A and B are shown apart, each in its own frame.
Chain A
Amino acid sequence: MRFLYFFVRRFLHSIFVLLGLSVVIYVISRIVPGDPARMAVGYQAPQWVVNNMREYMHLNDTIPVQFFYWLRSALSGDLGISLLTRRPVIDDIRQVFPATLELALYAGLIMAIGGIMLGTLSAHHKDKWVDNVVRVFAYMGIVTPAFVFGIVFTLVFGFWLNWLPTIGRISPDLTSPPVVTGLMTVDSLLAGKPLIFIDAVKHLLMPSIALAMAGLSQGARITRATMSDNLGKDYIAAERALGIPERQVLWKFLLKPSLIPTVSILGLDIAAAIGNAFLLELIFSWPGVSRYGVRAMLAKDLNAISAVVLILGLAFVVVNICVDLVVGILDPRIRLSAQRNE
Chain B
Amino acid sequence: MKMNLYDQKNLKEEVLTDVVPVNNAPEIDEEPPKEIPQRALDDARRIKVLSPSRLVAKRFFRNKLAMAGLVILIAMFLLCFVGGWVGRYGQKEVFYKYDNIMFSFGTANERTTYEGYYVIDASEINNLERNKLNSYISEMRSKQQDTRNYTDSEGNAYTLTKLDENLYEYRFHKIQKTATYDNKIEIGQYHENINGEESELILDGPYSSLITDNTFKNLVKANIPGRFVYEGNTYIILKSNKIPTIYIAGDDGKLIGEDQSDGFKTVVKNNLSANGFTYEGKDFIIEFIASNGIYQISRDYGNRLAAYLSTYVFDMQEAGFLVDTEFKTSAFGAVYGSGTFEWKGKTYRIMKNEKDIIVIQDISNAEPVDFANFSTFVVRRYNGEDTLSISFKDQLQEKVKDMIANGETLSQFTFYMQQIDGEGNLIFNEEGEPVFDTSVFVVERKLDNFVLTNLQNKYLINIFDKPSSEHWMGTDGSGMDVFTRLMYGGRISLIIGFVVVFLEVILGVILGGIAGYFGKWVDQLIMRIVDIFYCVPTLPILIILGAFFDSVRMDSYMRIMYMMIVLGILGWPGVARMVRGQILSLREQEFMIATEAAGLKASRRIFKHLIPNVMPQLIVIATMGLGGVILTESTLSFLGLGAKYPLATWGAMINSVSSSSAMVNYTYIWIPVGLMICLTVIAFNFVGDGLRDAFDPKMKR
Do these two chains really belong together in a complex? no
